[in-house]
Amino acid sequence: MADLRNARLSTGSLVNVTVEGERIRAVGGDLPTAHDAFDCRGRLLLPAFIDTHVHLDKVLIRDELREHDGTLAGAIGAIQERKRAYTVDDVRRRARSVIEASVILGTTRLRSHVDVDTIGGLVPLEGVLAAARDCASIADVEAIAFPQEGIVRDPGTAALLRAALEAGAQVVGGMPHWELDEPAQREHVRICFELAERFDRPLDMHVDETDDGAMRTLEMVADEALRRGWKGRVTAGHVCSLAAADDDYSARVIDKCARAEMTIVSNPVTNLVIQGRGDRGLIRRGLTRVAELRAAGVNVCFGQDCVKDGFYPFGRGDMLEVALISAHAAYLATHEELAFALAAITENAAQSWNLDDYGIRPGARADLVLVDAPSWEEALRLQSPRSKVWTRGRPVAETEVSSRLL
């Protein structure tokens, strides 16, 4: 990779970036006059985006599904029929397509939930792992063993989760609120944490993706993390019910999440479409308490979640689009809040992955995206093209757009 000249950072600073192999060696300072360098021409240079919540096994199946009522349960039921027909090559092809599209749009790391259950067995995982190998030169893909159909309510899934982790899944998933009663939810949480401890893996669980403000599995997860000392290794996705819960519970569980050093991944692009389907008048939209979580010091990220599947008919692996929609949903409008929208798809996501070599700084891996905009706020507003993308110091994608009035 050539060094970069005249790059604009999100702070507004204009810098040169020296790259050596896969790493950034220096930021700032002069480059030799005759030095081979790529001129960024004052455009915005960011660390490549991270999508920390996506479902690559389900992408691009929307047109093959029967219509349903638009709810979470309706989508799960519709997808079950398609899941029975999955093949490894089918999943691999669809997942690879979205990984490649994501890279072109500036994302070089993706963490994918992958269904592991008695319907599809390990076929979805095998397909996603194959796509990850196909794309290893342009992106890092982590697979989460995700019990979409439950564990207690889907006998045999616990054994399949163990097999998935042995087969290469890097993260333990879960979905405790999908169990039928509180004892089963607690058992679900216990099984997930025992697998995490046994395999020494982080957890990334779907938690309380429901309108029901009385749902309490987030507290179960936070309590278990604190009890086991599993700090900084637990992520909870969605957490929609927290917005409908009473303030006393919300304050209590948010404090526990902070003490457990948990990450919360909100997925507004999907939950705005799914949640509140039964409401009339004032409609709940599925967004968790982003402001309160941030104020308590909880690490908060945004994810794409779905790409043209049974849950969400849109999506294209574009984290800049995700940040814009999330900013609308979460009332992010001040300069500080818009800076958080960037962090939610970059440095906060890197924190959830426990990465120590991320960013634009000496020693960081040179995963970078050049955005055709003069600033982060303008990039967000205009949804600017990603001019060039680098992975491990190597250019892997570029986009050229030309428009003019006639």
Which residues are catalytically annotated? 209
**Residues whose CB falls within 8 Å of the CB of residue 282, separated by 6 or more in sequence, listed in order:** none
d(CA 393, CA 129): 24
SS3 call for 123: helix
Query: How buried is 272 (Cβ within 10 angstroms: 0-12 exposed, 13-18 middle, 19+ buried)?
Result: middle
Angle 98-169-60 from CA coordinates, rounded to 5°: 25
Give backbone dihedrals phi and psi of 401, rounded to 5 degrees, phi first: -130, 135
> Is the sign of the CA dihedral 212, 84, 100, 403 positive or negative?
negative
Write out the two tokens for 132.
């990850």
DSSP class of residue 77 equals: H
Contact 301, 265 (CB under 8 A): yes
Per-residue buried b or exposed e for 27-59, using 16+ beta carbons within 10 Å of the residue's own CB: beeebeeeeebbebeebbbbbbbbbbbbbbbbb
**Residues whose CB falls within 8 Å of the CB of residue 56, separated by 6 or more in sequence, listed in order:** 91, 94, 95, 98, 99, 110, 112, 114, 128, 131, 141
Q: Give the CA distances from residue 193 to residues 101, 162, 225, 254, 392, in Å, rounded to whole numbers and listed in that order.
A: 34, 12, 8, 20, 33
**Residues whose CB falls within 8 Å of the CB of residue 346, separated by 6 or more in sequence, listed in order:** 46, 47, 49, 50, 358, 359
Give backbone dihedrals phi and psi of 334, rounded to 5 degrees, phi first: -75, 170
For the chain, the 3-state helix, strand and coil shares in percent, each to the nearest 5, are 35, 20, 40
Contact 384, 376 (CB under 8 A): no
Write out the two tokens for 347.
């440095």
d(CA 196, CA 372): 42
